[in-house]
Structure 1
Amino acid sequence: MIRLSHPTKSLKGKISLPSSKSISNRILILQKIYEPGLVIENLSVANDTIVLKRILSSNEHNIDVQDAGTAFRFLVAYCAITSGKWSINGTARLRERPISQLVDALRLLGADITYLEKEGYAPLSINGKKLKANQSELDLTFVDSSQFISALLMIQPMIEGEFSIKINHKMNSKSFVKLTIILMRKMGFSVEVKGAHIRVKKERRFHGKFVRVEPDWTSFYYWYSMAHLAKDVDLCMVGLSQNNIHEEKKRLFDVGNKSLSFGENGDGLCVKKSKDNKIEFMSKLNYSQFPDLAPTFAVLLAALRAGETELMGLESLKYKECNREEALEQILGMLNCTFGLEDKSWILNAENFELKSETLFSTFDDHRMAMSIAPLALIQPILIENESVVTKSYPNFWEDLQTVGFEIEYL
C-alpha cells in the first residue's frame, strides 16, 4: 500500500511513456509466424508482453498465460494452426473471461479445441493442425470482440483457401482491428477491406529488418487526467505524436476543450495549462471503441464536478481484469458521486463530489483502476492498495510520477 500526494500540484518535466503493448503483442505474433529474424525496437516491458514473449520463445506446450488476456486470445489462434498438442490456462480471473466466440470461429475452419472445464472458458486443450476455409466468406458477425477478429486476421494467410472475413461493424474496440490491419500491411501483406469484409492475401512483400513500437496512448490519458487536476502544467510526452497509428489520440478533447493546450516539438507531444482555464463538458461520451479509457475519464469527470454525464459503450468492462463497472460504481460512490445503469448507459452525477484526505482505494487487482485513481492525489493525499498491479501495462508508473513532484510513502 502507498500514500500518494503532491505538495505543489505543479507538473513539469519529460515523460517517456511505456511502449504500446497492443502493438507489441501483435508484432510478436507476426514475428513468430512470418518473420523470425525481425528486430523489434522499443518492445513493451509490460508484464503482458513479457509473458507472451516468454511463451513464444519457449518450447513449452503447457502454457500458463497468467492474467494476460490479449496473449491468451492471440495464443489460442496461434496454437490452433501450429502442429502439436497444447494446453492453455491462466489465473482464476482469466478463467472467467469468455473465449467461446473465438473458439467457435476457429472451429468453422476445422480447429480441434476442447474445453477442459467450463464450456466457453479456459483451460483449453488444442491439437494444432492445418486449417482450411471451405467457403469464400467466413461470417463472423456473431463475434463482438476486436481481439478475436485480430487473432484470426493474423493467422489468415496460414489457412488453406482464399476467403474473406465478414465482421460485425458494431463490435466494441473496432479501432484495434484497424490497428491489426495497419501492422499486417507494415509486415508486407496486402489487406483488402470492403465494407464489412476483410481479406488478408497470402503473398507478402517485406524487405524491412526492424520495426519500432510507438508509445502507448492509453497510458497518456492518466497524464491527461493529472493535467486537468494540476495547478500548473508543462509536460512533454516523449515520442508521442498525433501522427501515431493509435486512434486513442482522437479523445484529446472529450473533456476541457479550452483548459489544456497541445503542441508538438522534436521530442514529442507537449501539454500545457492554457490561459483560458474554462473546462467544458459533453453530456454524452461513448467509449465503445476505447473502453480502457472509460475508468480514467469517469474518475476525472467526477473530480471536475462535471454534473451529469451519460457514459455509453461500457458493456465490455465487466470482462476486463476486474469487473470495471462494479469497481467504478464503488470508487465513484466513495467520492460522493452517483453512477448507475439506465437502459444501456451509465449515468454519472458528480455535482456532490467530495474526496476526504487519505481515503483508502482498492485497485481491484486491476492496473487500469490503480492508474485511474492516482490523479486524485492532486486534490488530496490518498492511499492505494496493491499498487504493484501497474506492472501489467506501465511498470514505471509510480517512478514517473515521482519525477514530476508526486510523493510516495510505502506503508
Structure 2
Amino acid sequence: MSIQLTKPEKLNSVEIELPASKSISNRLLILNALSYSPYAIKNLSDSDDTKAMLQVFSSNNNHFDIGAAGTTMRFLTAYLSKIVGEWTITGSERMQQRPIHVLVDAINQLGGKIEYMEKEGFPPLRIFGSSLTGGELNIPGDVSSQYISALLMIGPYMEKGLTLNLTGEITSRPYLHLTLKLMEKYGVKCDWQNNTIKVPVANYQPVETKVEADWSAASYWFEFVAFAPKGFSVLLKGLDRYSWQGDAATAELFKELGVQSKFSQKGLQLINTGETTRLFKHDFSNEPDLAQTFAVSAAFLGIPFKLNGLHTLKIKETDRIKALLTELQKFGFEIETNHKDNLEWTGVRHAADTNIVVSTYKDHRMAMSFAPVILKTPTFSIADHMVVTKSYPSFWEDLQKSGIQIK
C-alpha cells in the first residue's frame, strides 16, 4: 500500500512531541532485566523494536520471532546466552539475511553455546543459555556497534568479567559510549582506554529511569525546515540538550544546510536561516543512521556532497547505499559510490521521472528521509509507508499537522 503526498498551499509552523529513543529504550530494558529492577521504565518507545523486546520479556515461551527488529535480535542473542535454558530466536525474511556471526562467534568464545538453525552465520539461532566464562576477546570495531553493546551489557555477569579489544576502525563510537553511560547509571563503571574496554565482574543496581526523545527522529524535522522558506520554524519537544545519543550531532551538522537550532524551556526551536554551504562533506562512521537524511537533504537543496564512513549501511534494514542510489535517481540525481562506504554527488541532475513512487525496502528511514521532499516537488507517492512504526509510529500524523496532504 502506498500514500500520495501533496505540497501544502500554506505551511504551518508546528510543535512536535518526538518519540522516545528506541536505542535507549532497548538498552534500558536489558539493563532493567539484568538488575531485576522493580521499577517500570518511564516514557518507553512505542516503536516496533521496543514492542518486540517487551513481548519477549513478557512471554512464557522459549521461541521468539522478533520480526524486523535488529537491535532486539542482537541484544537478546547476548542476553539469552546467559539465561539458563534452551531458546530459539528468529525474525523476518530480511532479518534472516542480516549477518550475526561476529556476535555468535564472540559469545561461543566466551563460554556460550549458540547454533545456527538454518544458514551458517545468520538467524534463526538456537541458544543454550548458561553461565559464561568471559575473559579477553578481540572483536572488529567496524561492525555494527550493537554486537559490541550486546556483549558489554552482559559482561558484568561473566565469571572473569569481559575485556574487549576493538580491532581496526571503530564504527558508531557514540553508541558504545551510550551503552557504557547507561551501564554506569545502573552501577557498573567500565574502563575504555584506546581500543580496549574492560568490564568488571559486578551486579547492576536497580534505578528509576526515563527515556529521552529520539535525535534520529528529530533529523527529519531538521530536513523539513531546511526545505521550508527562510524564517520558517518548528519546535521539537522532549530532546535532551546534553544527550548521549550520537545522532545529537544533527543540530551542528544541519547548520551547513541552513538550519539553526536553539534550546529553550519549551524545547528545541529550529529555524531556516537560508545560509548553506557550497559543498557538504562528512564522515558518518559515528552517525550512520543520519546518512539518508543528509544525502536527501543536500541533494534537494542543490548542494554537492561527499559522504563517507557508510560501510555499515549495507547490513541495515536494507542495503541503504543501493536504495539511496535507486530512489534519488527517480528524481533525476546521478549519485556516485564505490559501493563500500561513500556517496558522492557533483551536482548533476536530469529530468525527474513522472508519477514517482519512492520504494522503502521495509526500511523506516527511507520513508522518513524522503517524506520532507514534498516541500520541493508538487506530488509523489511513498510505498509501504507504515514501515515508520519501526521507530516513529506517529510520523505521518505529525507531518499532516504542517499542512501536507496525505492520501
Q: Which interval holds the TM-score relative to the shorter structure?
A: over 0.9
- Structure 1 pair 143–304 and aligned structure 2 pair: CA distance change class (3 A): closer
Secondary structure at the aligned position of 1:213 is classed as: coil
The answer on 1:42 being equivalent to 2:43 is yes
User: What is the match of residue 324 of structure 1?
Assistant: 320
User: What is the match of residue 395 of structure 1?
Assistant: 393
What displacement does 1:367 show?
0.7
Q: Take 2:79 and 2:365, find their aligned partners in 1: how far apart are those partners? A: 27
Q: Take 1:334 and 1:349, find their aligned partners in 2: how far apart are those partners? A: 17
Q: Take 2:182 and 2:33, find their aligned partners in 1: how far apart are those partners? A: 14
What displacement does 1:283 show?
4.4
Superposition map of 1:48-67 within 5 A: 48-67=49-68
Q: Take 1:9 and 1:184, find their aligned partners in 2: how far apart are those partners? A: 47
User: What is the match of residue 333 of structure 1?
Assistant: 329
Q: Alignment RMSD, CA only?
A: 1.9
- Number of matched pairs: 403
Superposition map of 1:94-133 within 5 A: 94-133=95-134
More displaced stretch, 277-286 vs 103-112: 277-286
What displacement does 1:357 show?
6.8
Per-residue CA distance 1:242-268 (angstroms, 9 max, x = gap): 312212122324344372221111121
Q: Take 2:280 and 2:226, find their aligned partners in 1: how far apart are those partners? A: 18
Q: Which residue identity does 2:222 align to in structure 1? A: Y
Residue among 310, 332, 351 paired with 1:314 = 310
Q: Take 2:203 and 2:209, find their aligned partners in 1: how far apart are those partners? A: 16
User: What is the match of residue 374 of structure 2?
Assistant: 377
Q: Take 1:391 and 1:406, find their aligned partners in 2: how far apart are those partners? A: 19
Secondary structure at the aligned position of 2:262 is classed as: strand
Q: Take 1:390 and 1:258, find their aligned partners in 2: how far apart are those partners? A: 24
Secondary structure at the aligned position of 2:26 is classed as: helix
Query: Is the contact made by 1:255 and 1:280 (CA closer than 8 Å) also made in structure 2?
Result: no
Q: Take 1:143 and 1:113, find their aligned partners in 2: how far apart are those partners? A: 23
Q: Take 2:291 and 2:168, find their aligned partners in 1: how far apart are those partners? A: 21
- Structure 1 pair 290–354 and aligned structure 2 pair: CA distance change class (3 A): farther
Residue among 268, 292, 305 paired with 1:295 = 292
Query: Is the contact made by 1:302 and 1:349 (CA closer than 8 Å) also made in structure 2?
Result: no
User: What is the match of residue 14 of structure 2?
Assistant: 13
Q: Take 1:44 and 1:103, find their aligned partners in 2: how far apart are those partners? A: 27
User: What is the match of residue 368 of structure 1?
Assistant: 365
User: What is the match of residue 187 of structure 2?
Assistant: 188
The answer on 1:215 being equivalent to 2:235 is no
Query: Is the contact made by 1:311 and 1:348 (CA closer than 8 Å) also made in structure 2?
Result: no
Aligned identity (percent) is 36
Secondary structure at the aligned position of 2:118 is classed as: coil
Name structure 1 gaps, 5 residues minimum.
none
What displacement does 1:278 show?
2.3
What displacement does 1:203 show?
3.3
**TM superposition score normalised by structure 2:** 0.94
Superposition map of 1:219-258 within 5 A: 219-231=217-229, 232-257=231-256
Q: Which residue identity does 2:7 align to in structure 1? A: H
User: What is the match of residue 70 of structure 1?
Assistant: 71
Q: Take 1:344 and 1:397, find their aligned partners in 2: how far apart are those partners? A: 29
Query: Is the contact made by 1:303 and 1:353 (CA closer than 8 Å) also made in structure 2?
Result: no
Query: Is the contact made by 1:89 and 1:95 (CA closer than 8 Å) also made in structure 2?
Result: yes
